[in-house]
Structure 1
Amino acid sequence: MSLSPIHYIDTHTAGEPTRVITGGFPDLGIGSASQRCAVMLSDHDSLRAGIVREPRGHEAMVGALLLESSLADCEAAVIFFNNVGVLGMCGHGAMGVIEALRHAGRVDVGKCKLETNAGVVEMQLHDDGEISLENVRSYRSASNCSVTLEGGDEVIGDIAWGGNWFFITESPGMTVEFTNVDALTDHACRIRDALREQGVTGPDGEEIDHIDLHQPLSGTEAAGTRSFVLCPGKQWDRSPCGTGTSATMACQHQRGQLDEGDRWTQVGVLGTSFVGSFRVVDGGIIPTIRGRSSMCGEGTLYFPPDDPFRHGID
């Protein structure tokens, strides 16, 4: 059976793409974003894969399925996903959604809310075109956590939530820059494999599927890091990573190295940056991340039944 055409708007945020699905996806019923996400995974997971995997997408692409929210104060509900599954939240993706909605004439300068799997986030489109995200509560769940890599090397890092689960540790003696992405990816994959094999999880058994390798910013007085982030699967984040910035600020605050209202700059491997700050709440922080998204294009995807790769190249 032929699938219905899928309508999309493509954006990128600081280099990382977001494919915003605006129409054509099968009906997921009513309920919260997380309830409809469960329907998407059980009934339409192959379509998820086909949208973002090659040949229609590519492995680093994040999808954002736009839905009507069940919450009256939200502009939309969004389910974020990538080549291997769904995401709790996605900072760069939320900014990309706002840029797509701006392009479609649905939002203007000002604030609005989005319902996500991880909770409601508040977005703001600024006069200069930049976009701010007030993220979900972020916190550190464990510090100085040790894992042993294959070969015997020990790595120590923090476990933190910023809308996704992160293991945050220092870069292994190499500069966090584009020329080193292959080596950084290999090291981050080894860490994630070790976490899985040694049973290191979030506090309720959640898989830690994002790895953040960082080094301090140099040649500047700004507080921040240059960070490489491995996403679920084996792709690295082209942006500085909004949920990773949130998790990192939570860790810095717990160490007493960052206070409410301080500015934090997170630079990604492409040299693009997000600027963050936060307010303290019970059990963590509420981060605000600011960045910029750009329009890339819009169009329609087709999935003919005789196409052997209609569900993507796995």
Structure 2
Amino acid sequence: MAVPSFLGTSIRREIKTIEMHTSGEPTRIVYAGFPFLTGTLLEQRAAAKAHHDGVRKSIIHEPRGHKDMYGAVLRPHTEHVDSSAAHMGVLFLTHEGYSTMCGHATLAVSRLLVDCCASIDDPSSPLSQEEAIFPQRTALQFVPSEGTSGEDIQGDVEVRLHVPCGVVRVVVPAVRTHSGFRADSTRRIRYLSVPSFAAATDITVAIPLALQWPALAAQGRTSVVADVAYGGAFYLFVTATALGFPASLEAPDLAALDEATRKVKTAFNADAQLKQRYLHHPDHADLQFMYSVFVTEPGSGAAAPGTQGADTGVCFFADQQVDRSPTGSGVQARVALAVAKGQRSMGQSWTYHSLLSRASEGSRRGFVGTPVEEVAVGERKGVRVEVSGWANYTGVATWVVEEDDDLGEGFDFEALGSRSR
């Protein structure tokens, strides 16, 4: 999208994005204008945090974003892309910083990359914007489904994404066209997770007096029982009743849940022994932090066809962003946790809902999580999880920051007041 010429002399920064959502959760995908980064993907992530964090704030914070905005930056050169182990690298952006794994953005980015191949077989096509967005697009292979015929042949395309926690394999349903192939939005995109595992079950998190919230204090309780699991990031899982609220998440008090989950996370992070014991990953020291508190309601919501049941949950991640989707990396962790507790067996599929997906279209917008392979993660037993869902486009944008525009660099309006309730 071209910027009008009359803006040219006043623009200090210009960033181009494709806007998508996955079950309602936004993904602002940056394909041009992000500062030049080199090195491994984790080195690029560190450099972005240390030297270019203002760029993140300018597109995720207000006035262009909001408290719950999410973003992804395409990285066409990483160690795994350059070795052909991956097709594209991705950095994930939150209101707080840079997350290590994001399932909903993985689904969105993968669909975008496949759609860049719509004219891949057209020899008369000039150097296109699609090729500029996705230089490795000719490496993608369309595999037709058995028994399909006609003008538009159905099939699948595998996309290998290099994300901060590893390489994720994504299968995007596609349709063959006269000049290439494009994503088939009528079928679920699915990806195979990085090794996920339960770090702890039924642990007690002490809540000091200064961090207690009204619902907990009213019951005379000073602790919360929770689980810890890893799905590309570490999650603390807790039921609503463990927090002192009604078991049902039907029309919950989000302000009260926000306060409770924030304080539980603070209490967990203040306990050095809990952090040292449970936030350990044998391969990735950079990933050893509590990313989210996930409030769950087991057994609720409509089960998608082919699944044996459903759960609903609401995810408060990073600096208390609320995920509109069922949270892909959270599904990975929840499946690993269910397997560790003996509640799920290999190959048993389950539907996972957010508050929005449960309320909007029955089972269609929920994610499906299936444990498909047992793996070792250091000395722990873990699993690889297949997660599936849909992603849709919402727009295309060119964002600009003018010279001498302080507020245009991004601001957090809520930080001007207290979030305590």
Q: TM-score, normalised by structure 2?
A: 0.70
Range that drifts further, 132-141 or 143-152: 143-152
Once the two structures are superposed, residues 122-156 of structure 1 have per-residue CA deviations (whole angstroms, 9 ceiling, x without a partner) of 11112434211211110011222111223343211
Tell me what 2:370 maps to: 277
Tell me what 2:68 maps to: 60
Aligned partner of 1:197 among 251, 255, 270 = 270
1:1-314 correspondence to structure 2 within 5 Å: 3-29=12-38, 31-69=39-77, 70-71=79-80, 72-105=84-117, 106=137, 109-126=156-173, 127=184, 128-149=186-207, 150-151=211-212, 152-172=221-241, 173-174=245-246, 175-199=248-272, 200-201=274-275, 202-203=279-280, 206-218=288-300, 222-270=308-356, 271=358, 272-278=365-371, 279-282=373-376, 283-314=381-412
Range that drifts further, 303-312 or 230-239: 303-312
What root-mean-square deviation, in Å, do the aligned CA atoms of Structure 1 and Structure 2 show?
2.0
C-alpha contact 1:20 1:100 (8 A) present in aligned 2: no
Aligned to 1:302, the other structure's residue is in SS state strand
Aligned to 1:124, the other structure's residue is in SS state strand
Once the two structures are superposed, residues 235-275 of structure 1 have per-residue CA deviations (whole angstroms, 9 ceiling, x without a partner) of 11100001111101111101111111000111101124100
C-alpha contact 1:141 1:161 (8 A) present in aligned 2: yes
Shift of 1:178: 5.0
Please list every run of 5 or more consecutive structure 2 residues that lacks an aligned counterpart in the other structure: 1-9, 118-136, 143-155, 174-183, 213-220, 359-364, 413-421
Range that drifts further, 124-133 or 231-240: 124-133
Task: Please give the alpha-carbon distance, in whole angstroms, between the structure 1 residues aligned to 2:318 and 2:157.
Answer: 32
Task: Please give the alpha-carbon distance, in whole angstroms, between the structure 2 residues aligned to 1:129 and 1:12.
Answer: 16
- The 3 A distance-change label for structure 1 pair 234 and 219 is closer
Task: Please give the alpha-carbon distance, in whole angstroms, between the structure 2 residues aligned to 1:42 and 1:2.
Answer: 24
Task: Please give the alpha-carbon distance, in whole angstroms, between the structure 2 residues aligned to 1:285 and 1:269.
Answer: 26
Aligned to 1:155, the other structure's residue is in SS state strand
Identify the structure with the greater helix proportion: 2
Once the two structures are superposed, residues 11-46 of structure 1 have per-residue CA deviations (whole angstroms, 9 ceiling, x without a partner) of 0000100010001111002x2211111111111011
The count of residues paired between Structure 1 and Structure 2 equals 313
Task: Please give the alpha-carbon distance, in whole angstroms, between the structure 2 residues aligned to 1:311 and 1:262.
Answer: 47
- The 3 A distance-change label for structure 1 pair 226 and 28 is same
Larger radius of gyration: 2
- The 3 A distance-change label for structure 1 pair 215 and 68 is same
Task: Please give the alpha-carbon distance, in whole angstroms, between the structure 1 residues aligned to 2:295 and 2:35.
Answer: 38
Shift of 1:189: 1.1
Task: Please give the alpha-carbon distance, in whole angstroms, between the structure 2 residues aligned to 1:294 and 1:102.
Answer: 13
- The 3 A distance-change label for structure 1 pair 178 and 27 is farther
Amino acid paired to 1:15: G
Aligned to 2:323, the other structure's residue is in SS state coil
Task: Please give the alpha-carbon distance, in whole angstroms, between the structure 2 residues aligned to 1:130 and 1:264.
Answer: 14
Following TM superposition, the consecutive aligned residue runs of length 4 or more in structure 1 with deviations greater than 6 angstroms are none
Between the two structures, name the one with larger relative contact order (CA 8 Å, sep ≥ 6): 1
Please list every run of 5 or more consecutive structure 1 residues that lacks an aligned counterpart in the other structure: none
Amino acid paired to 2:107: M
Amino acid paired to 2:370: S
- The 3 A distance-change label for structure 1 pair 4 and 181 is same
Shift of 1:103: 4.1
Identity %: 28
Aligned to 2:257, the other structure's residue is in SS state helix
Shift of 1:203: 2.2
